[in-house]
Amino acid sequence: MTPALEIDHLSKSFGAAEAVKDLSLSIEAGEIFGLLGPNGAGKSTTINMISGVCRIGQGAVRVFGYDTVRQYRLTRRLVGVMHQEIVTDHFFTIDLALKIHSGYYGVADDRIWRQLLIERLGLGPHLHKSMHKLSGGLKRRFMVAKALVHKPRLLILDEPTAGVDVELRRTLWQFVREINESGTTVLLTTHYLEEAEQMCGRIAIMNDGRLVALERTEELLSRIDGRSLLLYLETPLDRVPDPLVTWNGQLEQDGRRLRLCLPGETAVGEVLQCLAQLQLPIRDLERPRPGLEEVFLQLTGLNLNNNQGGSL
């Protein structure tokens, strides 16, 4: 089966700065694929090269087997893209802008489909408002509708939930799932790693223009060597008991929570035995599942207190 998207040794420089360095990846038709990375990793430049906003420096991009440069009239019809920056035309209302956008893609307006997008993205009450009167979240939802109005086979969402409230985020992801189930391939970037974990079958991580990981989400999560053990205490501790220093014990929440970091080879039984001997006032115990965030931080060399990378 022809891949929905093939990126072949793609590179792009802006002056001396190399934004994307020899990137190659392939997305199968029907996938929900996550492209993650810190700010400046090259995700948006990659998306811009796929969609045609940015000229390709070196390499090639193929959408459903068609070259995006030589056969751009065909590939652009197959792709719907929602860019990270909020882009609207202040002259028109949501309804008219959607009709116009459909025409730009050379397809007659499908009123029923347009109505469905308006309804599912909660744009109904704002349909005849001028674009500059819409909130940031509404503009973002409009941009999702705009990306879908011509019924693309590959949907690219660059940070679709930034600035969107929790409830709408949930409904938006539900809608994206339905879109995917009906046959549309989805490529998304998000800085909500939990969302990427829940939504994506495969995830690629970029850092400094390069691909640093591309695996199935569960395989990526299993990369974490070691796990945490959280102990919730009845009474707070003022210091970590000496025997627990071995497991890098750290007090959190004003001494009411004790975090132990267990290396891969440590048996939990051994830890529990030690805890029993210490007779700590343990109220509850939790072994959190390693998250994408840990993998992400490990691969990109960032840490939670490091602001260099900005948002993820």
Partner 1 sequence: MIDRLRQPRRFVSWLPFATLLQKEVRRFLKVAFQTLLTPIVTASLYLFVFGATLGQRISVLEGFSYAQFVVPGLILMGVINNSFANTSSSLFISRYLGNIVDLLVTPITPPQLILAYTLAAMLRGLLVGSVVLLISFFFAELPFASPVAAAAMAALASFLFAQFGLVAAIYANSFDALSMFNNFLILPLIYLGGVFYPVSILPPFWARLSHINPMFYLIDGFRHALLGVGDLSLGTAFTAAGLMAAALFVWASLLLGSGYRLRL
Binding site for partner 1 (CB under 8 A): 14, 45, 48, 51-55, 72-74, 76-77, 79, 81, 83, 85, 87-92, 96, 100-101, 103-108, 110, 112-113, 116, 146, 148, 150-151, 178-179, 181-184
Residue closer to partner 1 (CB basis): 41 or 312:
41
The C-alpha R_g of the chain, in whole angstroms, comes to 23
Residue 132 tokens read as 């500059």
Q: How far apart are CA 295 and CA 160, in angstroms?
A: 22
Smallest distance, partner 1 to C-beta of residue 151, A: 5
* Alpha helix stretches (DSSP H) within 93-165: 94-104, 111-120, 136-148
Upper half-sphere CA count for residue 105 (Cβ side, 13 Å): 25
Smallest distance, partner 1 to C-beta of residue 131, A: 10
Residue closer to partner 1 (CB basis): 15 or 269:
15
Smallest distance, partner 1 to C-beta of residue 189, A: 16
Upper half-sphere CA count for residue 128 (Cβ side, 13 Å): 0
Smallest distance, partner 1 to C-beta of residue 211, A: 21
Smallest distance, partner 1 to C-beta of residue 22, A: 19
Q: How far is CA 174 from CA 180, 184, 195, 198, 199, in A?
A: 10, 14, 11, 11, 9
Q: How far apart are CA 82 and CA 297, in angstroms?
A: 26
Residue closer to partner 1 (CB basis): 21 or 101:
101
